[in-house]
Structure 1
Amino acid sequence: MSQNTAILYTLAVAGVIGFQICLMAGAPWGRLTQGGQHEGALPMSGRVAAGVSIVLLAFMGAGITSAAGLPPHWPEWTGWVALGIQALSTLLNWITLSAPERRLWAPITSIMLGLATYTVLIDA
Structure 2
Amino acid sequence: MFVTISATVFSALIAIVILFQIALAAGMPWGSYAMGGKFPGKFPPTMRIAALIQVIILSLIASIVLIKSGLIFPDWSSFTEAAIWFVVAFSVIATLLNVITRSVWERRIWAPVCLLMLITSIIVAIG
TM-score by length of 1: 0.92
Shift of 1:110: 0.7
Structure 1 residue 44 corresponds to structure 2 residue 41: no
Structure 1 residue 85 corresponds to structure 2 residue 85: no
What is the alpha-carbon distance in structure 2 between the residues aligned to residue 90 and residue 112 of structure 1? 9
The aligned counterpart of 1:26 is: 27
What is the alpha-carbon distance in structure 1 between the residues aligned to residue 82 and residue 71 of structure 2? 14
The aligned counterpart of 1:120 is: 125
Percentage of identical aligned residues: 33
What is the alpha-carbon distance in structure 2 between the residues aligned to residue 79 and residue 41 of structure 1? 33
What is the alpha-carbon distance in structure 1 between the residues aligned to residue 83 and residue 4 of structure 2? 16
Which ranges of structure 1 fall in alignment gaps of 5 or more residues? none
- 3-state SS of paired residue (1:28): coil
The structure in which a higher percent of residues are helix is: 2
Give a deviation string over 1:34-72, Cα, whole Å, max 9, x none.
110112100011111111110111111111112212323
Aligned residues: 122
TM-score by length of 2: 0.90
The aligned counterpart of 1:35 is: 36
Q: Where has structure 1 moved over 2 Å in runs of 4 or more?
A: none
The aligned counterpart of 1:105 is: 110
